[in-house]
């Protein structure tokens, strides 16, 4: 399920998210296959997406506003929460037509005038009574229960306690304000309907007909062109629903070679302005132009215009939209304005940012999805301005990490720096592959499919020179229930057999595996990498074992001027004198990997043998009751 498209809907779960197994799984090759889970800042187009507003900080002098005003505001919030109706009453019984909320009706570029009620009705009629519909109902009930519990907690807080939360939230906001840095200049370049645009470029006749990129009605759309969007057709929508919305819809099979070629062409342009630009996906890039603007005496507006013109020329006619601001988050939001083939640059000042955010729906912010949006709405928050005004509620009810994120969204603070500067993790977090198919309980087919996914993950790890310490699987039943299991390996490895065996063992050990285990998706993920760009921990211990700091310093001085040697396996440079020792280290790790694989195979064989014995014993015992005495 791929989302190559214009706007990034995110997938929010906020502070109420449940802890689970490594739940933000994404296929990094196609920028789309996001595994289930409602992580705080996950991108999940097909199930969880992201918007909010009210009054902003223009009237709020942090820490200096009148105490009487503070008490009055707190009293109002307390009264509103203590008299609030239960979620079921406030919303009314969830109607079938409304069940899907904004999953498929949250407007992407080109969908502003779509008849939302018609889309909801068609989706309901097409899915009512299906396992997918039942699964959506279960998720809706879970969310409702979580909101009810949160509201109960809020009603139990006394007015005095609310005053404390109000004061603490003001202090947090003041501290956050002190970190605001408006000196940076970020542009986000987002290709317009990328996959569909590539197909239209190859076949201009498609420009005038509604078209979706997917294998067919039984597949999920990766994107849709702007003609199809007028009917409510969009990325991540099942093909059969898209066909009901637009009977004349034409399906075009994805051609990733074509998309990768176009993506490379656009990236040559981005690199001219920022050699270290951050590729968000095949069709999106975060470009810092702070240094470029200073050196060339230009502005973000002019640079954005240049990039758009050069991308169109480099790709042979593809257009992009550009957003600009002093942070990556703000630039990302702005890139969705004036689509397609447009730009929107937010003035890099505190005042302009707060004014912009005051009326901005929270769902527009990356990281706020369907679930989090509904939670915020239940507490009277629709915009970033609302969020700022009612921040004390979320400090009291949400986790510290979630509150920090929401406060940053409300104030427009955060992501001003590169991930490497701010201490964010920049390395690859995981490699995953999954596939959806017609529901089946055929064990041979499921084993073969899981083996195929695990093999693909292992081979990709090898190509990236990554070794994983953890393997996880994802199984989705025909009822759309999701099972996720993980195991820690004996040591870091990218050995195909080890990863395959670990994945198969996880699936076979699942208690519910059996005749009733009907699956529609299997997937495998490798994570917790032993990054080769870091100094191998065990090698460092060997080199420095029993050496004093003085001896180490002298050794480093002696080897500084030695000829360098580059290892072909890990691409790291060493003095010639360390060549043999380093090669021995690689050889030892390979032996360990072989040993780990053998151990894994032995354990798997033993588990099968034990299971067979237990089954045979159970049959023997059962036969005793059938023998006539």
Q: Which residues are catalytic?
A: 284
Q: Give the strand pairing for 186-191 and 278-281.
A: unpaired
According to the 3-state scheme, what is the secondary structure of 292-329?
A: HHHHHCCCHHHHHHHHHHHHHHHHCCCCEEEEEECCHH
Q: Give the strand pairing for 519-529 and 430-440.
A: antiparallel
Q: Yes or no: say if 414 and 408 are a contact pair by the CB < 8 Å rule.
A: yes
Q: Yes or no: say if 284 and 306 are a contact pair by the CB < 8 Å rule.
A: no
Q: Yes or no: say if 31 and 4 are a contact pair by the CB < 8 Å rule.
A: yes
Write the CA distances from 356 to 190, 411, 547, integer angstroms.
20, 10, 59
* Tokens matching residue 237: 């929508």
- Say which DSSP state 353 is in: H
Write the CA distances from 31 to 43, 306, 603, integer angstroms.
9, 26, 36
Alpha-helical segments (H) within 348-390: 350-358, 370-378, 384-389
Q: Yes or no: say if 248 and 231 are a contact pair by the CB < 8 Å rule.
A: no
Alpha-helical segments (H) within 428-470: 443-463
Please enumerate in sequence order all residues whose Cβ is within 8 A of that of 129, keeping only pairs 6 or more positions apart, or say none: none
Nearest to residue 101, comparing CAs of 336, 360, 378? Answer: 378
> Inter-axis angle of helices 300-315 and 256-273, to 10 degrees?
150
Buried b (16+ CB within 10 A) or exposed e, 434-466: bebeeeeeeeeebbebbbebbbbbbebbeeeeb
Q: Yes or no: say if 269 and 289 are a contact pair by the CB < 8 Å rule.
A: no
Q: Yes or no: say if 490 and 467 are a contact pair by the CB < 8 Å rule.
A: no
Secondary structure element (H or E) that encloses residue 469, with its range? strand 468-477
Long-range pairs for 74-80: beta carbons < 8 A, 24 or more residues apart: 74/159, 74/162, 74/163, 74/166, 74/392, 75/159, 75/162, 77/162, 77/166, 77/390, 77/392, 77/393, 78/157, 78/158, 78/159, 78/162, 80/380
- Say which DSSP state 62 is in: T
């Amino acid at each position: 399920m791929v989302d190559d498209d214009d706007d990034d809907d995110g997938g929010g779960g906020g502070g109420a998210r449940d802890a689970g197994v490594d739940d933000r799984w994404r296929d990094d090759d196609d920028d789309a296959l996001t595994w289930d889970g409602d992580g705080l800042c996950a991108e999940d187009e097909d199930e969880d997406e992201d918007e909010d507003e009210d009054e902003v900080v223009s009237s709020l002098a942090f820490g200096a506003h009148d105490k009487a005003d503070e008490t009055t505001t707190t009293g109002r919030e307390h009264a509103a929460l203590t008299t609030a109706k239960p979620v079921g009453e406030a919303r009314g019984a969830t109607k079938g037509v409304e069940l899907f909320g904004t999953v498929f009706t949250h407007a992407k570029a080109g969908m502003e005038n779509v008849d939302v009620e018609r889309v909801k009705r068609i989706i309901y009629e097409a899915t009512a009574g299906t396992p997918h519909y039942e699964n959506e109902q279960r998720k809706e009930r879970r969310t409702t229960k979580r909101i009810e519990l949160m509201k109960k907690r809020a009603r139990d807080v006394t007015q005095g306690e609310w005053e404390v939360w109000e004061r603490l939230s003001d202090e947090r906001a003041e501290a956050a304000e002190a970190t605001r840095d408006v000196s940076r200049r970020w542009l986000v370049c987002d290709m317009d309907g990328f996959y569909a645009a590539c197909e239209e470029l190859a076949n201009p006749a498609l420009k005038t007909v509604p078209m979706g990129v997917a294998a067919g009605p039984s597949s999920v759309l990766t994107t849709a062109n702007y003609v199809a969007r007028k009917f409510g057709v969009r990325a991540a929508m099942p093909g059969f629903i898209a066909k009901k919305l637009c009977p004349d819809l034409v399906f075009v099979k994805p051609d990733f070679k074509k998309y990768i070629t176009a993506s490379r062409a656009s990236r040559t342009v981005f690199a001219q302005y920022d050699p270290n630009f951050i590729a968000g996906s095949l069709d999106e890039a975060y470009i810092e132009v702070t240094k470029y603007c200073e050196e060339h005496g230009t502005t973000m507006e002019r640079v954005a215009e240049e990039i758009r013109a050069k991308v169109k020329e480099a790709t042979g006619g593809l257009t992009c939209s550009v957003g600009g601001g002093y942070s990556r988050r703000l630039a990302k939001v702005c890139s969705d304005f004036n689509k397609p083939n447009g730009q929107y640059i937010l003035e890099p000042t505190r005042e302009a940012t707060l004014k912009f955010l005051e009326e901005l729906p929270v769902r527009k912010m990356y990281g706020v999805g369907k679930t989090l949006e509904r939670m915020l709405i239940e507490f009277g928050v629709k915009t970033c301005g609302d969020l700022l005004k009612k921040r004390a509620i979320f400090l009291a009810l949400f986790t510290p990490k979630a509150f920090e994120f929401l406060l940053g969204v409300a104030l427009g603070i955060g992501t001003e720096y590169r991930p490497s500067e701010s201490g964010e993790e920049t390395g690859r977090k995981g490699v995953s592959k999954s596939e959806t198919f017609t529901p089946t309980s055929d064990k041979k087919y499921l084993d073969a499919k899981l083996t195929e996914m695990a093999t693909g993950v292992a081979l990709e790890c090898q190509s990236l020179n990554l070794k994983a310490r953890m393997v996880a699987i994802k199984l989705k039943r025909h009822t759309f229930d999701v099972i996720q299991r993980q195991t820690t390996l004996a040591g870091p490895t990218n050995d195909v057999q080890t990863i395959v065996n670990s994945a198969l063992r996880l699936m076979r050990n699942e208690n519910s595996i059996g005749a009733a285990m009907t699956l529609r998706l299997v997937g495998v993920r490798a994570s917790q990498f032993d990054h080769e760009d870091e100094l191998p921990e065990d090698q460092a211990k060997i080199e420095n074992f029993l050496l004093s700091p003085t001896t180490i310093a002298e050794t480093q001085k002696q080897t500084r001027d030695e000829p360098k040697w580059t290892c072909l396996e890990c691409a790291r440079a060493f003095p010639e004198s360390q060549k043999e020792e380093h090669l021995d280290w690689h050889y030892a790790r390979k032996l360990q990997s072989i040993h780990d694989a053998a151990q894994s195979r032995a354990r798997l064989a033993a588990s099968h043998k034990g299971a067979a014995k237990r089954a045979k014993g159970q049959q023997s015992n059962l036969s005793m009751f059938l023998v006539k005495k």
